[in-house]
Amino acid sequence: MKNKINTKIAMFFLSIIILLILTLFYFFYLLQPLSSDVTETKRFIIPKGQAISVIAKRLKEENLIRSAQAFRYVVIRDNLAKNIQAGSFDISPNMSVSEIAKLLTIGTEDIWITLLEGWRAEEIAESLSLQNLSNFNNEEFLSLAIKSEGMLYPDTYLIPREISAEQIYNLLISTFKRKITQGLSEEFEQVDRDFDQVLILASILEREANNYEQMRRVAGILLNRIDIGMALQVDATLQYAKGYNEAQQTWWAPPTVEDKIIKSPYNTYINSGLPPAPISNPGLNAINAALNPIESDDLFYIHSNDGNMYYSKTLDGHNANINKYLR
């Protein structure tokens, strides 16, 4: 009887040992390269401030490691959490988890750039020219970008310093297609106006309003004007037509009374309907506002000095708002 008990105890501990050995082997397996046969690398981008847990999950989802938990273990074991860098990294599935974790601690030559909503192509080119990009050519970028005004998607990008003008142009266009053309395809199908009309309207809203709700309200007003054949009378379109103001050193100088009679297809004081093309590069909020205008009977709006907007249905009401909030 005693021998049987000893045998059972021995078998139990042997099972525990075998289980531990198998667990160790499995964990060792998780730390190994996902595929030793693959030589190609994949560009992996870490935004500023991204958590280690998120990085680990993304590495697993992009088939660069076998286990997110194994990556987190290596980071903790090697005390790398504070050393993981934001940037872009070329990672191959033939790298071990330890190799990948250490690679992510090495700073890259990439830089973050932010392109603001409502900038025109020239402003984007000017900003890029100040970034010390070794292969960037302003004229080359503008030759491509001018024809794509409205689709140079404003965002924060991580780019290599050696990026060319054509490559960054392609990056902006591909981001627009992914986030807008594809991302909002169902929304575009549900509106009566075509894609170009929505984009042109959004480019105006980006310059004419300060937030999403204001954009939606202005969108409804401008569409009301179009529907009754009334000129849009939007100052931002005049600013686009006039271009750079040397005296004020801005692309968006306040228009004068004389500007309202200049001959240009972008002069919405003398031409009814939308201008022929976008006047800026709108962000997601402006495009969503153009797709989801607030319906009202209003035909007029003003910007007050405190940043608010005031609306009216009639010219008399509009003039009253001007006297009350602007004088």
Span of 16-25, 46-55, 214-223, 242-251 with lowest mean pLDDT: 16-25
What is the reported pLDDT for 296?
Answer: 94
Q: What is the mean pLDDT of residues 179-184?
A: 95
Express as a percent the part of the chain with pLDDT over 90: 65
Domains and CATH numbers, the chain: 34-108 (3.30.1490.480), 110-182 (no CATH), 187-296 (no CATH)
CA 287 remoteness from chain centre: 13
User: Which pTM was predicted?
Assistant: 0.74
Residue 11 has pLDDT above 80, yes or no: no
DSSP state of 258: G
More confident residue, 152 or 32: 152
Instruction: Give me the helices (H) in the chain, please.
Output: 2-30, 52-61, 68-77, 97-103, 121-129, 138-145, 165-176, 185-189, 195-208, 212-227, 235-242, 284-291, 315-325
What's the confidence (pLDDT) of residue 214?
96
pLDDT band at 159 (very low <50, low <70, confident <90, very high): confident
List CB contacts of 294: < 8 A, sequence separation 6 or more: 213, 216, 217, 219, 220
